[in-house]
Amino acid sequence: KAGVTQTPRYLIKTRGQQVTLSCSPISGHRSVSWYQQTPGQGLQFLFEYFSETQRNKGNFPGRFSGRQFSNSRSEMNVSTLELGDSALYLCASSLGQFNRAEAFFGQGTRLTVV
């Protein structure tokens, strides 16, 4: 079955702009989580959505937001981009049910802010 699909794979934006990244989870998975990966900070949790509701949030400013649709697809948005937002953004999907919490990651979206 198809894996986690993230689009676009690469993106270049200018400081101050906003960006929207998309994630399609594995069919049947209801939980989608987002992570930011940078060389300095490593992999950091942004937020998680389950059944269209945000149920967990990491320590990121309000410029980072997300949503989940009824088909479990998710988008994350970053407004007023800063140079430090350059990173690999990873999406992970899981069933979200007890004892089946292994997460499956997409290939990521590499965002470069110039």
Partner 1 sequence: DAKTTQPPSMDCAEGRAANLPCNHSTISGNEYVYWYRQIHSQGPQYIIHGLKNNETNEMASLIITEDRKSSTLILPHATLRDTAVYYCIVRVAGGANSKLTFGKGITLSVRP
For tokens 């992999």, name the residue. 43
Shortest reach from residue 34's CB to partner 1, in Å = 11
* 103 near partner 1, judged by CB under 8 A: yes
Pick the closest to residue 43 from 99, 93, 92, 100 (CA basis).
92
Count Cβ atoms below 10 Å from residue 81 Cβ, excluding itself: 19
Among 20, 82, 101, 112, the residue binding partner 1 under the rule CB under 8 A is 101
Structure tokens at 34: 């987002």
Positions in the binding site for partner 1 (CB under 8 A): 4, 31, 33, 35, 42-45, 48, 50, 55-56, 58, 88, 90, 92, 94, 96-108
